[in-house]
Chain A
Amino acid sequence: MKTFLRILGALVIVGVVALLVFIFWPVSRSAPTQVAANAPEPAEHGEYAMRLADCAACHTAEGGEPFAGGRPIESPVGTIYSANITPDPETGIGGWTLAEFRGALIDGLDEEGHHLYPAMPYTNYRGLTETDIAGLYHYFIEDLEPVRNEVPANDLPFPFDQRWGLRAWKWVAMPDVGFASGATSDDPIERGAYLVEGPGHCGACHSPRNTLFVQDGYTASDAGFLTGGVIAGWTAPALRGEDSAIAGWTAEEVAQILGTGRNAHAAINGEMALVVEDSTQYLTADDLMAVSQYLVGLDGNGANRGQEQGTPSGGLAERLLDDPATQTERILASADPGMPEGARLYLDNCGACHFVDGKGADEVFPELDGSSIVQAGEPTGLISMILHGGALPSTEARPYALRMPGFADRLSDDEVATLASFLRTAWNNEASGTVEAGAVADMRSEEGG
């Protein structure tokens, strides 16, 4: 008995010591990697690196000063407020050394060695080149004016407010430091891989996460990488595999949607609109094509519908007066009063812009036939779009902030559900499961505020 207690006591002591060591053992920052020989000067490169890494998306609050932080980010465990990353010495990152700055980007540590919450995508930034890190550092420390802005404290319950717990999370989640492929390669696929997997941190939204919140893969060789995630109730669609939202798109079409927010198939809205607005529209034509070629080279993608589109010789009316290609189009074009309610709701609410063939119009009205948002596993994005509409970002090449009005004031919950269910199997769409009115009611009240 005594022995047992002694052993137990020893174990407790070992455990406590281990815990204390776990909590208090100093963190270490990764060492710098090689700087490329032909790297641009940080002063020239800084702003572009900031665009590549899309720092504005999280570090600028709505209506706030750029990069002064304070944007609320809802996580499953509570609200995290993004940091002020202007060079203000008290409320921002003024006075941080390059090593400390690098530590935040690739090790998830602040200047005092505290662990950062993984709302900061350091697991993705871990592959950043020294050139991009130096550029970012220069931009935030030298180019920006300091803005004094005390951001609110995070609103997290115990135990999630204990940052030391993140050390264990990082053991599980962190990939190796340093980028394997050629970040500065002339090969567009290699350059594209760097941009997507590293600074672009596309995987942060477009990859699934496990129950520990760990991103499922960080590079193309990981099977789960870019197979789709959920963000703010919206599906961040898969960009590879059988459900890929860009299946069949040409690299040019991918480049177009990233550069302008729109292409012949789809229009960007929601969170991705902010990405286009703050980041991808600023990519050089070469980088945009590199990203696009990398993406269309992933499994499940490739331009197999490229020739289907193209400018028709006649106008819209000629297109619609051709023999209907689908049963759905045949029903809609008949204007038969006996058509199902979903079809009738489509004609009375959607057909004006998306037309009876569900093909919309290039760069203006997105296709609903084949749309990833329409057929997403979870219909929340589709319901939200019907209820509240959406808006395209204004970009240099396509300045028009086209908007779709919401139909919350015209359609009841039942009608939205009937319409959404219709859309999910209309034309060539093949989503499973009907949409229930209850799901609509939840979104209406949630969004109605």
Chain B
Amino acid sequence: MSHPTYLNTTRRGFLGGTAAASALALGDRAQAQDAPPLEEYTPEYLSAAEWAFVMAATARIIPSDGAGPGAIETRVPVFIDLQLAGDFGNAADLYMEGPFKPDAPDTLGPQSPLTPAEIYRGAIERIDAACTDEYGNVFADLDPTQQDEVLSALEEGPSTSGNTPDMAEDAGGGAPNTDGSTAFGLTPELKEFFSLLVQNTKEGYFADPMYGGNADMAAWSYIGFPGARGSYAEWVGREEDYPLGPVSISGERA
């Protein structure tokens, strides 16, 4: 007895075009695997000088030596460039109506009239100028020790933006209040630069690879975070190392 197809009414309407979006994530995976080397990457937003700065700075914020990958191997600079070119960089979600009081207390939150992308641009220009005055070279051309000196000075100068861990959700403490003088000629409009840079570097290190960083999910593998699996009911209460590597949203496995 054969099974000829009988009533083939169409039902695809309510399944909602998942196939139309198909191959999108698979495409991301292919792209990630064929990504050009970092040196050949053409930035979307950053100028050549800014790109050099971000490459150099992120390489010091998460260096390559020691255990675990660094910002460079995980392609964090690509992440930052893409973020600055997109909604984050353009402050698409932020309230950007005046009047602006950028020198208001830090604890009242960022009050700069500049978008994050503009803050990067303005701050990098001033820091490079200051480095040239101080050391005779732009930041990217300094040696690592000098670069660390500059980054430390930036950290000491303008305040942090309060990116404290919120491990204990709804039970967290406050952030240190460190209003400080501006360093490297960073005006109040630019004072958030260093904390943005550190925050964005960590974001690029740990975000899903589809955003350009965390190449090969190496940062997830390093700390033992399984990524986009989202399924651990059989592990509750088991105090043993979870051995399986991560998976990304697009289905990349490590």
Contacts and interface: CB of A to CB of B under 8 A. Distances in A.
A touches B (Cβ under 8 A)? yes
Interface in B197-254: 229-231, 233-238, 242-245, 247, 249-251, 253
Contact of A320 (B1, B7, B233): B233
B10 interface: yes
Given A216-B1, A332-B234, A231 B7 contact: yes
Contacts of B243: 334-337
A232 B9 contact: yes
A211 B4 contact: yes
Interface stretch (A99-107, A136-144, A160-168, A385-393): A385-393
A210 B231 contact: no
Interface in A74-104: 74-76
Contacts of A233: 5, 8
Given A317-B237, A351-B231, A410 B18 contact: no
Given A208-B3, A344-B253, A356-B234, A408 B19 contact: yes
Contacts of A229: 3, 6
Contacts of B19: 387-388, 406, 408, 444, 447-449
B12 A449 contact: yes
A176 interface: no
Majority SS at the chain A contact face = mixed
B5 A231 contact: yes
A294 interface: no
B25 interface: yes
Contacts of A449: 12, 19-20
Interface residues of A, number: 65
A230 B4 contact: yes
Interface in A403-434: 405-406, 408-412, 415
A209 interface: yes
B2 A271 contact: no
Nearest to B241: A335
Given A336-B243, A356-B234, A449-B20, A410 B26 contact: yes
A183 B249 CA distance: 55
Contacts of B11: 232, 270-271, 273-274
Contacts of B2: 208-211
B6 A348 contact: no
A208 B1 contact: yes
A321 B240 CA distance: 14
Contacts of A200: none
Contacts of B15: 388-391, 406
Nearest to B11: A270
A335 B1 contact: no
- How many chain B residues sit at the interface, stated as a range, is 35 or more
A180 to B, nearest CB: 24
Given A62-B10, A232-B11, A337-B244, A410 B250 contact: yes
Interface in B1-39: 1-15, 18-26
A409 B9 contact: no
A211 to B, nearest CB: 6
Given A406-B18, A411-B251, A73 B234 contact: no
Contacts of B22: 408-409, 444, 448
A402 to B, nearest CB: 13
Contacts of B234: 317, 320-321, 332-333, 355-356
Contacts of A19: none
Contacts of B9: 57-58, 71-74, 232, 271, 274
B251 A76 contact: no
A352 interface: yes
Nearest to B227: A348
Interface in B121-170: none
15 contacts: A204-B6, A205-B6, A209-B3, A213-B4, A229-B6, A230-B6, A231-B5, A274-B9, A321-B238, A335-B235, A337-B243, A344-B244, A387-B19, A389-B15, A410-B25
Interface pairs A-B: 3 shortest CB-CB: A74-B8, A406-B18, A352-B231
Given A211-B2, A355-B234, A390-B15, 6 more contacts: A71-B9, A344-B244, A347-B231, A391-B15, A444-B19, A447-B19
Interface of B: 1-15, 18-26, 229-231, 233-238, 242-245, 247, 249-251, 253
Interface of A: 57-58, 62-63, 71-76, 119, 204-205, 208-211, 213, 216, 224, 229-233, 270-271, 273-274, 316-317, 320-321, 332-337, 344, 347-349, 351-352, 355-356, 378, 387-391, 405-406, 408-412, 415, 444, 447-449
